Structure 1
Amino acid sequence: MAGAMTGIKVLDFSQIVSGPMAACMLADQGADVIKIEAPTGDPVRAFGPGKGNMSATFITVNRGKRGLALDLKKPESAAIVAALIGWADVLIENFRPGAMERLGYGPARCAEINPQLIYASVSGFGPDGPYRNIRVYDPAVQAVSGIAATQLDAAGHPSLVGSLMADKLTALTAAQAITAALFARERSGVAQQVAVSMLDAAIAFNWPEAMYNHSFLDEPPAPVPNYSDLARLWPARDGQVAIGVLQDAEFVALCAAIERPDLAADPRFTRAADRAVYRDDWLPAVAAEIASRDVDTLMAAFIATGAVGGRVNTRANVGDDPQVRHNHSIAEIDHGALGRVRSPIAPAQFSATPSHAPRPAPGLGEHSRAILRELGQSATDIDALIAAGVVIAASH
């Protein structure tokens, strides 16, 4: 059955995580994605544990794509790239500002080749401005965007989220924006450029609750405790759990789960605003009850009462969580010589146009010959390009 993006052709020049993950989402949904790599390969091939030139991270953010290894600095590559631009519906790049123009494939030139091309550019801090020439990785964006300031350590100092938060939320933003641009093109016939900066995406992602004390400008209300000050994990007898009591009914359910209906009946705690004021009067009691129970007992009680709660899984046992198993959230990919590889499923489920099950990521130049044949190159021409170092192809 066709996916939601079946028939859409994507040319992915991007590397590391933000751009490749956006293109991967489109591939999961059925798009034909060709990943262009330099002869040395995407640097993330060597990021973290791997086999050969395939790291676990590379596989996860490049699965389901076809791979063409091409030296863009060699003039013989120009005709190949032009043909691919003419083939594509979408081009994705995340080089430093100006790099694509220097290579000869900026938005204006690509629009000349293919007026219907959606040209998606992902940058770190934006295409211009005082930080334009700074090389950008996730920690720098977490720092500037305020995300680090919401993650205070025990001493009250900003710290980093231990994940490529800015990269991945930028990928989500870019994938949605590309889809919106394709929808607009479908209705109007007009293609356009889509520009997403990691900084803007991170600020927008961080803002709703992490910056709520900095939203009102005119006669601002009195500040309330930051959300990050209220969020915590709760030690149980054999692990930790997370709970939530934003709504009054959730507090009632929690009190039922820990067998303390008296707390729910206390008039000081019946409303969320009052619970914030009197938090030192109910928090210790809730903490003591949670600490006296094991995690399985707490989870059973949360399920029975409809309370907000979740066990704190280690990285190693996420896949063993009952709900994760029920959802089939993690799939196994048969990756040939690499053996089996685990990868998350595409999280959006479509009733009529299902996403692909996770598929292998391309080896460096794995599909170079096949792609060039599709572009009309003869076997002799392909061999000459490979001999000249313009194209890298997997052995056959």
Structure 2
Amino acid sequence: MAQQILDGIQVLDFTTYIAGPYGASLLGDLGADVIKIEAPEGDPMRYYPSTLPGESRAFIGVNRNKRSIVLDLKQPADREACHRLVAQADVVLHNFRPGVAGRLALDCDTLTAIQPRLIYCSFTGYGPDGPQAQRPGFDQVLQCRTGIAKAQGYPGDEPRVVWGSAVDFYGASLIATGICAALFQRERTGLPQRVDTSLLQAALAMQAGRMVWAEDEGPGVDRDLRGGALSGIHPTREGYVYLQAQTQPFWEALCELTGLAHLARDPRFADMRLRKANEAELVPQLRAALMQRGAREWEAIFGTRVPCTVVRGIEEVFDDEQVEHQGLLATHAHPTLGSYRAVVEPIRFNGERGVKREARAPMLGEHTVQVVGGAG
């Protein structure tokens, strides 16, 4: 097995729900040894509503590449065991609200006194301080607070959240990026690092293309990134197709392949801004042409000339030929499910896929004896 980037790095993961756990899983993808430390009742995400018998689909999906141990950090003996693990660790990651870590003797000062080279990462809802720091934060709460929910749909539509925990997963990427950068800096300096990020930071960062307010702009400006209704989901004779044909070569190919070549020569649609300004005349003509065939036929016709896709359900992705060719899913044995297929590491180095010792999500406390006994 090829050595992975973070081989030899041990991560203690105290996080729950999605963003923190998935951030730790991303480190596990890179080869880190991730130990998930859970309270006796376990991560609440284990009990999230799910159609899987006796298991949580979300928990399994975001907790790959880990071992699980149970410690009751309110008990002195378990707290001492935790500190013994810290002494051997490289990274501690938690998502406690500000002040909670201190009450559990897991604050940065306490732990860096135990392990002077520790990377200490705190992920919160609103940041470590400030007037809103104590508020509980969840993905959809931050979507509604930061304008994401209002930006969905079209003007006049009711606000709607983006399902799929987009802010959580972007927050996970910030966690993994920050920890990797801190580990790199530690190699340079030998010093510990504190990393702080939050759902609020993730929700703003993922809207960088909207979060621009020029000096002379007033309120009520359209800040969306949409280039017009030409790019979007369109009905066909059978199913739906998504098209992205804003740039001139794609636009001209779209006109040619749909039998609307005359539109490419129409001065009303000569460039991207004009096409958006005159979309009320343009889009009905495009949709009438698209109704002549089914979505899969159009996908084949457009090929590499027009960015497009059939609008698929997630179950279809499990058998997607490109997903299969890239090896983006793997089958894992599981004590109660028998086996399941799930996403594997999303990054490769030198074209090689990492091979993990234990990639499936762990059962609650499955490795307590192994890990805590080994640290004693």
TM over 0.5: yes
Within-5 A mapping of 1:120-269: 120-152=121-153, 155-208=156-209, 210-211=210-211, 214-218=212-216, 226-228=224-226, 230=229, 232-269=232-269
Contact 1:123–1:197, Cα closer than 8 Å, also in 2: yes
Give the residue type in structure 2 aligned to 1:189.
Answer: G
Within-5 A mapping of 1:259-338: 259-303=259-303, 305-338=304-337
Gaps of 5+ in 2: none
Q: Secondary structure at the match of 2:68?
A: strand
The structure with more helix, counted as a fraction of residues: 1
Contact 2:72–2:79, Cα closer than 8 Å, also in 1: no
Quote how far apart the aligned CAs of 1:53 are: 5.7
Give the residue type in structure 1 aligned to 2:300.
Answer: A
Match of 2:98 in 1: 97
Report the count of equivalent residues.
Answer: 372
- TM-score, normalised by the number of residues in structure 2: 0.92
Cα distance in structure 1, aligned partners of 2:219 and 2:290 = 34
What whole-Å deviation, never above 9, does each CA across 1:281-337 have from its counterpart, x for those lacking one? 32211111112210111011121x521101101133222333333333332212244
Point out the more displaced range, 356-365 or 34-43: 356-365
Cα distance in structure 2, aligned partners of 1:237 and 1:326 = 30
Give the residue type in structure 2 aligned to 1:149.
Answer: K
Q: Secondary structure at the match of 1:316?
A: helix
Match of 1:393 in 2: none
Quote how far apart the aligned CAs of 1:279 are: 2.0
Contact 1:53–1:363, Cα closer than 8 Å, also in 2: no
Contact 1:29–1:354, Cα closer than 8 Å, also in 2: no
Q: Secondary structure at the match of 2:11?
A: strand
Contact 1:5–1:29, Cα closer than 8 Å, also in 2: yes
Aligned identity (percent) is: 36
Contact 1:3–1:353, Cα closer than 8 Å, also in 2: no
Contact 2:15–2:21, Cα closer than 8 Å, also in 1: yes
Quote how far apart the aligned CAs of 1:224 are: 5.5
Contact 1:257–1:307, Cα closer than 8 Å, also in 2: no
Quote how far apart the aligned CAs of 1:356 are: 3.4
Quote how far apart the aligned CAs of 1:31 are: 0.5
Contact 2:71–2:82, Cα closer than 8 Å, also in 1: no
Point out the more displaced range, 214-223 or 119-128: 214-223
Alpha-carbon distance change, 51 to 70 in structure 1, aligned in 2, over 3 angstroms: farther
Alpha-carbon distance change, 51 to 11 in structure 1, aligned in 2, over 3 angstroms: same
Alpha-carbon distance change, 98 to 222 in structure 1, aligned in 2, over 3 angstroms: closer
Contact 1:148–1:158, Cα closer than 8 Å, also in 2: yes
What whole-Å deviation, never above 9, does each CA across 1:153-205 have from its counterpart, x for those lacking one? 78522111122122111111111111111111112222211001101111110
Contact 2:348–2:354, Cα closer than 8 Å, also in 1: yes
Cα distance in structure 2, aligned partners of 1:219 and 1:129 = 28
Q: Secondary structure at the match of 2:126?
A: coil
Alpha-carbon distance change, 283 to 215 in structure 1, aligned in 2, over 3 angstroms: same
Cα distance in structure 2, aligned partners of 1:263 and 1:322 = 34
Cα distance in structure 2, aligned partners of 1:355 and 1:113 = 32
Match of 1:349 in 2: 348
Contact 1:4–1:354, Cα closer than 8 Å, also in 2: no
Root-mean-square deviation (Å): 2.3
Cα distance in structure 1, aligned partners of 2:69 and 2:4 = 23
Quote how far apart the aligned CAs of 1:370 are: 0.7
Cα distance in structure 1, aligned partners of 2:360 and 2:133 = 35
Alpha-carbon distance change, 19 to 41 in structure 1, aligned in 2, over 3 angstroms: same
Cα distance in structure 2, aligned partners of 1:52 and 1:75 = 36
Gaps of 5+ in 1: 377-396
Cα distance in structure 1, aligned partners of 2:99 and 2:204 = 24
Quote how far apart the aligned CAs of 1:63 are: 1.2
Contact 2:232–2:244, Cα closer than 8 Å, also in 1: no
Contact 1:29–1:356, Cα closer than 8 Å, also in 2: no
Q: Secondary structure at the match of 1:196?
A: strand
Q: Secondary structure at the match of 2:207?
A: helix
Quote how far apart the aligned CAs of 1:221 are: 12
Contact 2:138–2:199, Cα closer than 8 Å, also in 1: no
Quote how far apart the aligned CAs of 1:138 are: 1.5
Contact 1:254–1:308, Cα closer than 8 Å, also in 2: no
Give the residue type in structure 1 aligned to 2:363.
Answer: G
- TM-score, normalised by the number of residues in structure 1: 0.88
Cα distance in structure 2, aligned partners of 1:44 and 1:199 = 21
Cα distance in structure 1, aligned partners of 2:351 and 2:225 = 39
